[in-house]
Amino acid sequence: MTKLHVLNEILTEFDETISSELNVDPLGLLVIWSSYGQDIFRRRISSISNDVRNFTLNLFNHAVIRSLIEDDGVVLGKGLRNDPAYAGRGKDSAAFKQACLIYLENAFTYAMIAAQNNKDVETTGVLGISKARRRWDETQGNPRLLFSHESNAHVLVRQNSLGVSGRYKTPLVEMKFFDGAYDYALPESRVQWEKVRTQLLVKSKPLANLHKLAREHLAELLADVRRIPECSFSDLPTELKRAFVSTFRSPVVVGTYTRDFWLAVTELDQGAPGALYEVLNQEWTSANQRQERQTADVFAQAAANSSLTADDKTKLEYVRVLEPFLAEMDLLLGVMLSAKSQTLGEATNKWKSLGRDARTLPDRAAPIETNTAMQAQASGTASVRLSELLALARVKNIEQQMEGLLHYHEKVMQARGQSPWLRLLGGNQLKVDVRIRQLPAKDDRPIGAWVHHYYLPQFRNLLSGLRGCA
């Protein structure tokens, strides 16, 4: 196996912190707030995994693959058996599972394109559909579907990580449907797959029918003697294409038949996320019109839920203590980035004009510094960065706080192999090398205002789909 193939076997998950940090997170705060946010949601949702249709499509694809692996009657053709990537493991190899995932994702996407003129078919949110449309046009509506784990079968560049299976892998791992190597036979996994059978496939006839059709088609395809079996879209069974569309035609449709299942297996209606769930439910009137509350208000109301355990209440309170501190750090950097060139004194006056002073950062940092359990929850990079921010906040002089924040920013950017956004010349002159930031009005950013949302918009989006609402 080549070095590239070895890497492809390993690098199959999408890391949202990589791209998200590069251009919009100059202080590297994402890794801090996401650590506390994910402790609430237990990695069930994220900025790239919060769509009920994609959740269900990924789980469905794995359900098909699992059934093929467990069925001894499904036999691989000579070409696949002799593929070195299968390494004698056959249907239990990573290459086989990846090939199945790619094939099923592409079949679904092309089926949606073919039906996109139907008024009840919603293609927005289908991952990779823009690239797929180009392939569709290039082939006059008859693209090839290749059964392969290699990049020649991909429609979306780096589809193993950027497609449905990559973006929605972590939540299913966290829910114990399989581990990072796609092992479906773990003891805890058997319980989850039994729920799929009894609570999803049995109760949803369209999904059960699609499962049957997809299995039958793949079983036939896998018997092909070629090393890379393939099927043109026109030869894909018509009934299978129709079933893909009718079952997954929109998040609203998927939400109507999966709501109870997903709430049960994610447990997002219980504990700390459950308290947020109750508050968000109040945002919907009988006419299903959203009346969204501010993030800080949602967390405050959720933390006041009397049914919460002490541990779940603590998770919410940690966020309520953390965010006012991170928000002020973000604002201070904004002040420093508000002019192409300014002295530390001029920046200090701007900070004061926003109602801040030398005590603003220390006061916001104090409840975090005195809570060792809260600090211990963060680990790795998140822990290091939080500790460094707390340290620079101890300084009682505004100009020294800005110098400390500048050095912290330089360290974050250096770790990324990038240049800092601003420099300090002559020990007093701030020089900005990127587009300047527009400062908010004082009334628009009162002390304690939040700027990070801790996956609340993503939770809203998932719940919107689960409600069966557009």
Confidence of residue 19 (pLDDT cuts 50, 70, 90): very low
Regarding whether 146 and 250 lie in a shared domain, the answer is: yes
Where among 268, 298, 327 does a domain terminate? 268
What was the pLDDT predicted at 5? 43
Buried b (16+ CB within 10 A) or exposed e, 419-439: ebbbebeeeeebebeeeebeb
Has residue 264 been placed in a domain? Answer: yes
- Do residues 229 and 80 lie in contact, with contact meaning Cβ atoms separated by under 8 Å? yes
Give the per-residue pLDDT at 289: 59
**Cβ neighbours for 88, distance < 8 A, ≥ 6 positions apart:** none
**What are the strands of the beta sheet with 341-343, ordered from one edge?**
341-343, 429-432, 422-425
Reply yes or no on whether the pLDDT at 4 is more than 90: no
Question: What is the pLDDT confidence band of residue 285, given thresholds at 50, 70 and 90?
Answer: low
9 has a pLDDT exceeding 60: no
Residue 35 maps to a domain: no
Looking at 213, 242, 268, the residue that finishes a domain is 268
On the question of pLDDT at 17 being above 60, the answer is: no
> What pLDDT was estimated at residue 87?
81
Answer yes or no: is 285 within a domain: no
Same-domain check for residues 126 and 195: yes
Q: Is the pLDDT confidence value at 14 over 90?
A: no
In a domain, 457, yes or no: no
Cut 0.85: pTM above it: yes
pLDDT score of 396? 85
| pLDDT tops 50 at residue 3 | no
pLDDT tens digits, residue range 160-196? 999 999 999 999 999 999 999 999 999 999 999 999 9
CA dihedral sign, ordered 278, 282, 288, 293: negative
179 and 119 housed in the same domain: yes
Distances in Å between the Cα of 233 and the Cα atoms of 64, 236, 300 are: 20, 5, 52
Residue 284's pLDDT is: 76
**Residue count (the chain):** 470
Task: Calculate mean pLDDT across residues 245-267.
Answer: 96
Domain check: are 66 and 214 in the same one?
yes
Q: What is the number of structural domains in the chain?
A: 2
Domain span at residue 332? 313-444
Spatial neighbors of 192 by CB under 8 A, at least 6 apart, are 175, 176, 177, 265
pLDDT tens string 43-58: 999 999 999 999 999 9
CA distance 63 to 430: 57
Q: Note whether residue 20 is domain-resident.
A: no
Q: What is the pLDDT of residue 410?
A: 98
Together in a domain, 258 and 318: no
Do the domain assignments include residue 248? yes
- pLDDT at position 468 is 76
Residues 360 and 435 in one domain: yes
The CA-CA-CA angle for residues 466, 469, 470, to 5°, reads 120
**How many Cα neighbours within 13 Å face the side chain of 154?**
18
Residues 213 and 133 in one domain: yes
The share of the chain scoring above pLDDT 70, in percent, equals 93
The type of residue at 266 is T
Indicate whether 32 belongs to any domain. Answer: no
Bridge partners, residue 341, by sequence: 431
Mean pLDDT of the chain: 93
Average pLDDT value for residue range 64-78: 96
Task: Give per-residue pLDDT as tens, 414-446.
Answer: 999 999 999 999 999 999 999 999 999 999 999
pLDDT (average), residues 119-146: 96
Range of lowest pLDDT (275-284, 312-321, 383-392): 275-284
Are 342 and 264 contained in the same domain? Answer: no
pLDDT band at residue 13 under the 50/70/90 scheme: very low
Which spans in 337-397 are helix H? 344-353, 360-369, 372-377, 380-393
Which H/E stretch holds residue 430? Answer: strand 429-432
Same domain, residue pair 141 and 58: yes
- Kindly state the tokens that stand for 307: 């049914």
pLDDT band at 16 (very low <50, low <70, confident <90, very high): very low
Under 8 Å between Cβ of 173 and 181: no
User: What are 424's strand-pairing partners?
Assistant: 430
Kind plus residue range of the DSSP H or E element containing 424: strand 422-425
Is residue 396 located within the same domain as residue 335? yes
pLDDT value at position 28?
Answer: 97
Q: 435: which DSSP letter?
A: P
For residue 283, the model assigns a pLDDT of 85
Task: For tokens 């690098």, name the residue.
Answer: 11
Same domain, residue pair 94 and 228: yes
Tokens found for residue 382:
């998140």
With respect to residue 299, please indicate whether it lies within any of the assigned structural domains: no
Distance between CA atoms of residues 426 and 412, nearest Å: 22
- Are 233 and 331 members of one domain? no
